[in-house]
């Protein structure tokens, strides 16, 4: 006999488990179906493990380069890496977070069904597990089945020599050389992390630059310089053609601007993007509309072509970010419960955990101009002029604020520098609230902190930053953009 629920959530990632908990809080009988691990890709083979290893790499790099200058000496010489222990620690972090999700689901009386879900009809699905097959029905369904890494021709994942991001986070031994195919945010996060651990890294990027379209160009320039300083080789306008085994490692053939090169390495990491899992669970079979990129078509309430079926997270639309999925999970739960809600966020902040970090909320200068803002105020404040950043020995980068010159309303904030990932939340709140430059500039920020740079970037845009020397207003460049740089 089929189990019946008010809501069945397919997928227990950061969108699915949040949706399930909120549904249960709202008094709806709820089940969540998961085929692999609670917390999904994010908590187990994505966001959390990658940031754990990035933290380890950053810490090791500081031991090697910053600690001696601070007067800190290691009693037995240089620091060394125990990769097995690092993986053990990383796994403990993931297990703790995944275990926490299970406790939250159970604590909110959400039924957890483990197995592979396949829609039989638009109102009924089968769940296949090691214990057999069971049928589940519901008044509403939420599809939150996420995405997976994209393979490219000639580089099928075997997770031994050719690694996806999942395999790249599970290496039990530290390689000496790595080739990373793809200079987007995943490739550079992984490449930077391994470079900090002492690995020789070569990034192969098909475009004319790294992080193309992923961040403000000025922010990308800072990261590109740091990559070079760290020893990461970047091949631009380069296409990986194929690979073969060579001894215990590999040889990768690359076409760089029409000239063929051979790169020797221990492993190849392919990070050219992710694709929605819309070819699974018989989604097309029940008549859901899927666009040419593989996303399920939804409206602003994340309803699909079947009004009782919703889609959230990576499978629904860009941006493919965990925090966007979680926001949609709460939204959809409240829509199902009868609340009048729709996705209307002014901005979805984004973070790239490279070195230094990049974080952004709102529009770039070019995006603002394309949106019709003919006159802008742009203020920048460098971390080199911030006492806390200097004391951390992480003074590279800046905070940039883009505002409408007519109203001083903040349109975008772009940060490249230490702890940008945490600082960007203030910017996201400012944009959501329609804050003006004066709101940020007149808010007293504690000293000495990195957050002061947000205040001073706003002051710079207004023409009166204290801790940088600015040209008088009558000597500055006038035109579509009034720039106030360090």
pLDDT at site 78: 80
- In CATH, what is the architecture of 162-272? 3-Layer(bba) Sandwich (3.50)
- Does 486 score more than 50 pLDDT? no
Query: Which of 138-147, 202-211, 468-477 bottoms out in mean pLDDT, i.e. has the lowest?
Result: 468-477
Cβ(160)–Cβ(183) below 8 Å = no
Is pLDDT above 80 for 341?
A: yes
Q: Quickly list DSSP for 277-330.
A: -TTSTTTTTTT--B-TTSPBP--TT-B-SSTTEEE-GGGT-S---HHHHHHHHH
Instruction: Of 398, 394, 395, give the one whose Cα is nearest residue 413.
Output: 398
> Which of the residue ranges 61-65, 74-78, 278-282, 468-472 would you say has the lowest mean pLDDT?
74-78
Whether 447 is catalytic is: yes
Per-residue pLDDT tens digits for 55-76 = 999 999 999 889 999 999 888 7
Which residue matches tokens 């950043």? Answer: 389
Inform me whether the pLDDT recorded for 478 exceeds 60. no
- If you write DSSP's letter for every residue of 130-175 in order, what string do you get? TTEEEEEEEEEEEE---EEEPP-TT----SSSEE-HHHHT--SS--
Instruction: Please tell me the distance from the alpha carbon of residue 15 to that of residue 4, in angstroms, as a whole number.
Output: 22
Which among 58, 445, 447, 464 is annotated as catalytic? Answer: 447
pLDDT digits (tens, 9 = 90+) for 124-136: 999 999 889 999 9
pLDDT of residue 471: 79
Structure confidence at residue 130 (pLDDT): 87
Residue 310 pLDDT > 60: yes
Alpha helices in 341-445 (DSSP H): 365-370, 387-391, 420-432, 437-441
pLDDT in tens, 415-458: 999 999 999 999 999 999 999 999 999 999 999 999 999 999 99
Cα separation, 416 vs 267, in Å, equals: 30
pLDDT of residue 56: 97
HSE of 337 in the Cβ direction (CA atoms, 13 Å)?
A: 20
In CATH, 356-481 is 3.40.50.620: no
- Kindly state the average pLDDT of the residues 340-347: 97
pLDDT, averaged across the chain: 95
Q: Where in the chain is the domain with CATH 3.50.50.60?
A: 3-149+275-336, 162-272
Q: What is the CATH number of domain 3-149+275-336?
A: 3.50.50.60
| pLDDT of the residue at 477 | 58
Residues of the chain within CATH 3.30.390.30 domain(s) are: 356-481
Give the pLDDT confidence score for residue 216 in this predicted structure: 97
List the structure tokens of 86: 């690092």
Residue 486: DSSP 8-state: -
> What confidence score (pLDDT) does residue 485 get?
52
Q: What is the pLDDT of residue 308?
A: 98
Q: Is the pTM of this model over 0.85?
A: yes
Q: Say whether pLDDT at 393 is over 50.
A: yes
Q: Is the pLDDT of residue 43 over 60?
A: yes
């Amino acid at each position: 006999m089929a189990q019946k629920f008010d809501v069945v959530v397919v997928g227990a990632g950061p969108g699915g488990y949040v949706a399930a908990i909120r549904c249960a809080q709202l008094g709806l009988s709820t089940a969540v179906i998961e085929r692999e691990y609670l917390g999904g890709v994010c908590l187990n083979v994505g966001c959390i493990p990658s940031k754990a290893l990035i933290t380890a790499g950053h810490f090791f790099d500081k031991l090697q380069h910053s600690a001696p200058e601070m007067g800190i000496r290691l009693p037995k010489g240089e620091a060394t890496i125990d990769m097995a222990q690092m993986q053990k620690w990383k796994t403990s972090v993931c297990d703790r977070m995944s275990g926490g999700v299970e406790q939250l689901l159970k604590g909110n009386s959400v039924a957890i069904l483990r197995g592979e879900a396949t829609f039989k009809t638009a109102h009924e699905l089968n769940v296949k597990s090691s214990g057999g097959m069971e049928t589940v029905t519901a008044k509403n369904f939420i599809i939150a089945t996420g995405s997976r890494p994209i393979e490219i021709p000639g580089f099928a994942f075997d997770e031994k020599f050719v690694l996806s991001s999942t395999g790249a986070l599970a290496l039990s031994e530290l390689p000496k050389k790595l080739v990373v195919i793809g200079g987007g945010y995943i490739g550079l996060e992984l490449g930077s992390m391994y470079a900090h651990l002492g690995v020789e890294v070569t990034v192969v990027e098909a475009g004319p630059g790294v992080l193309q379209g992923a961040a403000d160009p000025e922010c990308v320039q800072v990261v590109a310089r740091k990559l070079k300083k760290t020893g990461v080789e970047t091949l631009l306008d380069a296409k990986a053609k194929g690979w073969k085994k060579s001894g215990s490692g590999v040889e990768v053939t690359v076409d760089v601007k029409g000239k063929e090169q051979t790169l020797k390495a221990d492993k190849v990491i392919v990070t050219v993007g992710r694709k929605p899992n819309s070819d699974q669970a018989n989604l097309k079979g029940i008549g859901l509309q899927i666009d040419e990129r593989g996303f399920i078509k939804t409206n602003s309430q994340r309803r699909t072509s079947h009004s009782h079926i919703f889609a959230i997270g990576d499978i629904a639309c860009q941006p493919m970010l965990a925090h966007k999925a979680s926001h949609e999970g709460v939204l959809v739960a409240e829509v199902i419960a009868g609340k009048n809600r729709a996705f209307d966020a002014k901005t979805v902040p984004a973070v790239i955990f490279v070195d230094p970090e990049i974080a952004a909320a709102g529009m770039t200068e070019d995006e603002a101009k394309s949106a019709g803002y003919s006159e802008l105020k742009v203020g920048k404040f460098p971390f080199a002029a911030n006492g806390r950043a200097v004391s951390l020995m992480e003074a590279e980068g800046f905070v940039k604020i883009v505002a409408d010159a007519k109203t001083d309303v903040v349109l975008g904030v772009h940060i490249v520098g230490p702890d940008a990932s945490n600082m960007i939340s203030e910017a996201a709140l400012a944009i959501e609230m329609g804050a003006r430059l004066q709101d940020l500039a007149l808010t007293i920020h504690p000293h000495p902190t990195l957050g002061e740079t947000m205040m001073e970037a706003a002051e710079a845009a207004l023409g009166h930053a204290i801790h940088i020397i600015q040209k008088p207003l009558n000597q500055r460049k006038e035109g579509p953009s009034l720039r106030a740089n360090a």
